[in-house]
Amino acid sequence: MSETKKETKEVVSIDEIMSKLSLEDQTSMKKLLYGSNYEPLELPETVMNFAKKMQFEIGSYRIISTPEQVRKARVVRMAALQTKLPLPTTAPVIEMRAAIWKRAEEAIELAAKAKVNIFCLQELWTMPYFFCTREKQPWCEFAEPAENGPTTKFLQVLARKNNMVIVSPILERDEVHSDVIWNTAVVIDNHGDVLGKHRKNHIPRNEDFNESTYYFEGNTGHEVFETEFGKIAINICYGRHHVLNWLMYGLNGAELVFNPSVEAGDFSEVIWPIEPRCAAAANSYFTCAINRVGTEVYPNEFTSGDGKPAHKDFGHCYGSTYLTAPDGTRTPALSRVNEGLLITEFDLNMCRQVKDFWCFQMDRRLEMYAERLTKATKVDYVPQIVRK
Amino acid sequence: MSETKKETKEVVSIDEIMSKLSLEDQTSMKKLLYGSNYEPLELPETVMNFAKKMQFEIGSYRIISTPEQVRKARVVRMAALQTKLPLPTTAPVIEMRAAIWKRAEEAIELAAKAKVNIFCLQELWTMPYFFCTREKQPWCEFAEPAENGPTTKFLQVLARKNNMVIVSPILERDEVHSDVIWNTAVVIDNHGDVLGKHRKNHIPRNEDFNESTYYFEGNTGHEVFETEFGKIAINICYGRHHVLNWLMYGLNGAELVFNPSVEAGDFSEVIWPIEPRCAAAANSYFTCAINRVGTEVYPNEFTSGDGKPAHKDFGHCYGSTYLTAPDGTRTPALSRVNEGLLITEFDLNMCRQVKDFWCFQMDRRLEMYAERLTKATKVDYVPQIVRK
């Protein structure tokens, strides 16, 4: 694979560059870039040694919040996994899936040692991001039923064993309904039961993101899953760009919204640190943006609709997995190049604390916007333009 | 004033810290923080000398975009002014206003020399941010009619003289309708005519932002003003936190949305670089976030509702005025401490180019959200929660 050569050119992370500054300058800069309400989360040496052995970069942080008088703190630990393909894309489907499962199992074991309660995998975590190729086979063979497919069964065992909620974004094949394919996140609770599934609400139609060739806009709404470790939701990948998508999860009571994604390219990276963070602040909940790393190289040439010659790789997936708190504070990201696990600890009570502080949920004039949006979607809507 | 002592403690800017890195690291970091599609905009030496003489920091940038075959480029130059109070807050109302006018006139002259087409002043630019005090007098005397008040008349002359659109956010007194007070932006076109006005849609109710004691939520909708230099809108200050507010300006056709603001405090600064930037990306238009600088000290003590002792200052307004392009690229900010002028040049055609690339305007499922929001605003709305 040409991968190794490519990766060496990539910048590791903003934090790696910042580490060259004086401690004072680093502190000032981090405060401006990330906010003040986070601190390192110390993990036991055994955990760190295991991470090192398994070659997972660890980012571990605690979001700082205030105890309340009436409510008990609801502290949870969340982990988000950032990995690359373990095999070339030419590997047979079952071998690829098995190798990816193995890596996830290692990461879940690591998270369990770190006492993690909620674990989220990447978008379409069992497979290459083959949509760039626009080819149907063998790729569609990665699709599997959400409720009782092999990947769900595999994770149910790990969820039960580790008392861990696991969010598993896969390519779903709905065998009960005409073999329709969906981009779906399966939520498995800490007892190993499938709590439900959520289908991606917004499907991209640009560059290498040819997903609209494979599946349609989700029909499951904006479910919030009530787990023993808080109310979670999943805004899959491209739904990140749509503020109303984020808003509906908030209106349904989400406290933590995952954004499992596959992202490569400058045009995407420039807004990667912005959108999920803005959503956290706008809706007073936690968000976690998760991306894979590495360059996926495909057997056959494809074009990217950008006037450039045909090529075989999807570009560098830039990782940079990070979490944002409801007050807009964010953690540093995992690197742009390494496999890793982001582990964060926070008190879910912070959501309501921030709501009580800012009051966005009260001063946003939702009735007015419901009415105006309804008007604005009519074919004969006349925009409010002031002319001389 | 205790101002001087305070200011020296403030960090100047992220860019000032970054300048200590190697050129290579600076380039990598700026690409990750700001994106790639901007470059310095060279201004003539005469302009820079005048700026120096007048003690205005200059940030000048060009957003890079692509020429089209069919449409002519619509290149405009925009300036945003960031200043501090020229006199102590104890100065008489008319003296204060005259001193502030003088400083604005210098800035507009500077902008004219730099061939600026559209000029935007700060929120409530003619006055101290007195709302922190919760006192009514003499502060309410700063309010004046939008259409024919002294400040509008003052600016009409400058707009006509310099062939410049001027956006003037003031405290409006509607003498025709019961002396109601509003937080309003007046749009004066390049011929010196008042094109219209926009009233702030969302009013804060937190910390020192006691604006709801003085005026109510705006009743002018989400107007877009069609000027000779593009379609502009104004999202005043706190409206920055509300994604639906930004969305409506987009649906009405805005190409450039100003966000004139008064902002101080860590809780606000952490999201300052995020929200207007996210809005630019989400709505495929340019945004410009504008803040004042300096610490305003008031004659009488006031409290901030944060459990801390009474005090006389509002905290440091952190400046950091910046512009974002529709693709999420942003300019570096003006500093956190100096008065300055941000001058940017860009092609308004970029808005449609970005729309054609991402297609957010097509894949956002607006009809679905109009329906869901309408339901979600009902008192008996039942959130979509999945329980075991």
Question: Across the interface, do A357 and B201 touch by the CB < 8 Å criterion?
Answer: no
* Minimal Cβ distance to A206: which of B20, B329, B357: B357
User: How many Å lie between the alpha carbon of A382 and the closest alpha carbon of chain B?
Assistant: 8
Amino acid at position B314, single letter: F
pLDDT score recorded for residue A9: 82
Residues 6+ apart with CB under 8 A from B180: B173, B174, B215
Q: Of these residues, B120, B200, B275, B351, which one is catalytic?
A: B200
What pLDDT does B3 receive? 42
Active-site residue flag, B288: no
Q: Which of residues 313-372 of A touch B (CB under 8 A)?
A: 327-329, 357-360, 362-367, 369-372
- SS3 at position B356: helix
Q: B54: distance to nearest CA of chain A, Å? A: 29
**Max intra-chain CA distance, chain B:** 71
Nearest 5°: phi and psi at A226? -85, 105
Residue A272 near residue A289, CB atoms below 8 Å: yes
CB B377 within 8 A of CB A373: no
pLDDT in tens, B179-197: 999 999 999 999 999 999 9
Maximum CA pair distance of chain A? 71
Write out chain A's pLDDT in tens, 388 residues.
334 444 458 999 999 999 999 999 999 999 999 999 999 999 999 999 999 999 999 999 999 999 999 999 999 999 999 999 999 999 999 999 999 999 999 999 999 999 999 999 999 999 999 999 999 999 999 999 999 999 999 999 999 999 999 999 999 999 999 999 999 999 999 999 999 999 999 999 999 999 999 999 999 999 999 999 999 999 999 999 999 999 999 999 999 999 999 999 999 999 999 999 999 999 999 999 999 999 999 999 999 999 999 999 999 999 999 999 999 999 999 999 999 999 999 999 999 999 999 999 999 999 999 999 999 999 999 999 999 9
Q: How far is CA B319 from CA B124, B342, B364, in A?
A: 15, 11, 34
> What pLDDT shows up at residue A252?
98
Q: Chain B: residue nearest A386 by CA?
A: B225
User: In angstroms, rounded to a whole number, what is the distance separating the alpha carbons of residues B32 and A11?
Assistant: 9
Does any CB of chain B come closer than 8 Å to the CB of residue A11? yes
- In terms of Cα–Cα distance, which of A262, A269, A261 is closest to A314? A262
Name residue B313's amino acid.
Answer: D
CA A111/CA A129 separation, integer angstroms: 25
Strands (E), A130-192: 165-174, 180-188
Cβ of B206 and A359 within 8 Å? yes
Touching B: A residues 196-235, CB under 8 Å: 196, 201-206, 217, 221-226, 231
CA dist B387 and A278 (Å) reads 28
B79 three-state secondary structure: strand
Predicted confidence (pLDDT) at residue B2 exceeds the cutoff of 90: no
Q: What is the CATH architecture assignment of A3-376?
A: 4-Layer Sandwich (3.60)
Instruction: Respond yes or no on whether the N-terminal peptide bond of residue B88 is cis (omega within 30° of 0).
Output: no
pLDDT band per the 50, 70, 90 thresholds, residue B9: confident
- Beta-ladder partners of B287: B257, B324
Stretch B69-90: mean pLDDT, rounded? 98
List pLDDT tens digits, range B238-256: 999 999 999 999 999 999 9
Average pLDDT for chain B: 96
Residue B8 — very low, low, confident or very high, per pLDDT cuts 50/70/90? low
Residue B107 identity: A
Q: Which residue of A has its CA nearest to B221?
A: A384
Chain A residues near residue B217 by CB distance under 8 angstroms: 363, 365
pLDDT category, B1, cuts 50, 70, 90? very low
| Residue B262 CB coordination number (10 Å) | 25
User: Whole-angstrom Cα distance, residue B142 to residue B120?
Assistant: 19
* Alpha helix (H) residue ranges in B114-190: 150-162
In the prediction, which pLDDT does B5 show? 43
Contact B366 A388 (CB under 8 A): no
What was the pLDDT predicted at B6? 47
- For residue A385, count other CB atoms closer than 10 A to its CB: 14
User: What pLDDT, on a 0 to 100 scale, did the predictor assign at position A247?
Assistant: 98
Q: How many CB pairs under 8 A join A and B?
A: 248
Chain B residues touching residue A24 (CB < 8 angstroms): none
* B22 DSSP 8-state letter: -
DSSP reduced 3-state for B264 = strand
Does residue A45 sit at the B interface (CB-CB below 8 Å)? no
The DSSP-derived string for A267-331 is HHHTTTTTHHHHHHHHHTSEEEEEE-EEEEEEEEEE--SSSPPPEEEEEEEE---EEE-TTS-BP
Which residues from A are below 8 Å from B223, CB to CB?
A: 384-386
Asked if B136 and B273 count as a contact pair (C-beta separation under 8 A), the reply is no
pLDDT digits (tens, 9 = 90+) for B119-171: 999 999 999 999 999 999 999 999 999 999 999 999 999 999 999 999 999 99
Per the listing, tokens 């696991």 go with A166
pLDDT of residue A8: 57
- Measure CB to CB from residue A17 to each of B29, B225, B253 and give the nearest one: B29
* Gap from B67 CA to chain A (nearest CA, Å): 16
Show me where the domains of chain A are located.
3-376
Tokens of A77: 């630990």
At residue A231, what is the residue type? K
